[in-house]
Structure 1
C-alpha cells in the first residue's frame, strides 16, 4: 500500500473502530446488559491489534516501547494524572467485593493500556504527525480517543457519559501524547494509563457498580 494511502486509512480508522464498537455495544447490551463490556473489549482490542499489524509497515512494535529519552517534566505529569484517579479507588473500595470482578478489573488494566497506547498514541499519532503539526495531531487523536468512551463504553456504562469523565479524558489524551513525543517511547504512557484504569475502577464502572456523583 502506498505511503500516502496508508496514512489516510490510518487517519480514518478511528471512525470505523468507533462505529463498529458502537454497534457491538448496542447489540450485546440488548441481552447482556452491562456485561456487554466483555465482547466489546474483545472486538475493540482485536480491531486495534489488526490496525497495528496491518499498517505498521516495517516499524517494529518494540520500537514504540524502546528506551525513553529523558523528559522529567512531562513524565512527572504523567504520574500525577495516573495517580489522581486513585482518590476514586480509595473512596469506593467497597465495590471490590467479588474476586471475579477484582480479577477482571486488574486484567483489563494490564491489557487495555498496551493496545490503546500502541494504537492511539503510537500508530495514529505517528500517522497524524506526517500530515499535521504536532498540536493538531495531538488534537486529532485526542478527539477520537475521547469520543470512543461515550460512543462505545457509554452505551451501557453511565460513568462513561459523565461530564467529569469527559472533561478528564482530553487531559489524559494530551498528556500521554506529549509523553510519547517528548520521550520517543510509549513506556511511561502505558504505565500512566494502567494506573488510570486501576484508579477509575474500570470494570466496576462498566458494570455500573460505581457511578460518579453528579
Structure 2
C-alpha cells in the first residue's frame, strides 16, 4: 500500500519541487515527465512484465475520443473567454510565467510538447500503469476515482497562482480524469483518452495564445 501511495503522490511531489521550490518550467518538465516515463519502465522491468500501449477495440472509440476532446476544447476556450476577468488572476499568471521561465522562444516547444507528448505520458501513467496496478485490488469504479483524484492533485498546485478559484479549475480536471478513466474501462484502451486529452490541451494552449497573451 505504501508503494502504491508513493506512485500516486510522486508526480505531485515532482511538480512541487519544480514549480514551487525551484520555480523553473524546464526543470519541472524533467522531474515530472521523467517520473511519468521512467517509473513505469523500472517497475515493469522489475516485475518482468511489459507495459504496452493498448489500441482501440471498438472502431467508434476513436470517434468518442475526438468528439469528447472537441467538447472539452470548446468548453475550456468559452469559459476562459467569457469569464477571464473573474476566473483568471492575470497579475498572478504573469508573475508565475516569469518565475517559471515560461517565456521566450522556448514557449513554442513547450506548447507543442504539452499538446502532443503530455497527453501520451499522462494517460499512459494514470489510465494504463496506475489503473492496472489498482484495478484488481479496488475494482474499476474506485480505481477511476483514485487515479482521477491524484491526477487532479498536481494540477491544483499549477493553477493556484493562476486562478482566483483554483478549486473549481481542479474540479474540472478531476472530472476530465473521471471521463478518461471511464473511456479506459469501457474501451480497454488508452488511445481515445489520449486523443481527447490532446484536443483538450490544445484548448488550454489556445487560451494561452489568444486570450492570455
Q: What TM-score do you get using the length of structure 1 for normalisation?
A: 0.73
1:60 counterpart (50, 72, 80): 50
Q: 1:120 to 1:144 in 2, by over 3 A?
A: same
State the Cα distance separating 1:165 from its structure 2 match: 2.0
Q: 1:108 to 1:203 in 2, by over 3 A?
A: farther
In structure 1, distance between residues paired with 2:42 and 2:109: 31
Q: 1:140 to 1:195 in 2, by over 3 A?
A: same
In structure 1, distance between residues paired with 2:164 and 2:116: 20
State the Cα distance separating 1:174 from its structure 2 match: 1.2
1:51 counterpart (39, 51, 72): 39
| Secondary structure of the structure 2 residue equivalent to 1:142 | helix
1:86 aligns with 2:73: yes
Unaligned runs of 5+ in 2: 82-103
CA RMSD of the aligned region, Å? 3.0
Q: What TM-score do you get using the length of structure 2 for normalisation?
A: 0.73
| Secondary structure of the structure 2 residue equivalent to 1:200 | helix
User: Residue in 1 aligned with 2:176?
Assistant: 172
Unaligned runs of 5+ in 1: 1-6, 30-35, 93-97
Q: 1:202 to 1:13 in 2, by over 3 A?
A: farther
1:38 aligns with 2:43: no
- How many residues end up aligned between the 2 structures? 186
Q: 1:154 to 1:164 in 2, by over 3 A?
A: closer
In structure 1, distance between residues paired with 2:187 and 2:197: 16
User: Residue in 1 aligned with 2:119?
Assistant: 113
In structure 1, distance between residues paired with 2:166 and 2:206: 14
In structure 2, distance between residues paired with 1:184 and 1:18: 26
In structure 2, distance between residues paired with 1:78 and 1:160: 30
User: Residue in 1 aligned with 2:212?
Assistant: 210
